[in-house]
Amino acid sequence: MSEKMDVSGKCLCGAVSFSAKIAEPHVGACHCAMCRRWGSGPFMEVDCGTDVTYEGAGNISTFSSSDWAERGFCSTCGSNLFYRLKESGQTMMAVGLLDDDGGLDLKGQVFIDEKPPYYSFAEKTEELTGAEVFAMFGGDGS
């Protein structure tokens, strides 16, 4: 495995900043209805694992969007910050927050079966349906 890549970023107003190390320089996109309702488009993320350090953490609010995950946002400016699995703490940070997003590539898309017809990505990526995602994690989504 290659050396981890340092990333850092901040919300729109700067009240929350973070740093982390990512194992792979890949971006993922989630097209599920919840992500699209949350940010008015697909959630574009980098998987930061469980070791994310925050400054201004008192400005982070979370919303428990399912039994297994929560979403974080800046309580000052409203910027979407992360999608985090409750059990493991695995955190997918919003890629748009990164100070430097050079060297990243779009690797995969999930909930491709929920993607609306009015947009498409030109890149050829791995694509999983919602059922395939839940099967990977041993659940049924309920």
Closest CA to 53 of 102, 96, 94, 16: 16
Q: Is the pLDDT of residue 124 over 50?
A: yes
Q: Token pair of 133, please? A: 């995602």
The domains found in the chain, sorted by start residue, are 5-136 (2.170.150.70)
Q: Is the pLDDT of residue 139 over 70?
A: no
> Please, what is the average pLDDT of the chain?
94
Q: Is the pLDDT of residue 129 over 80?
A: yes
54-83 pLDDT, tens per residue? 999 999 999 999 999 999 999 999 999 999
Buried b (16+ CB within 10 A) or exposed e, 7-37: bebbbeeebbbbebebeebbbbbbbbebbbe
Confidence of residue 142 (pLDDT cuts 50, 70, 90): very low
Threshold 0.75, pTM exceeds: yes
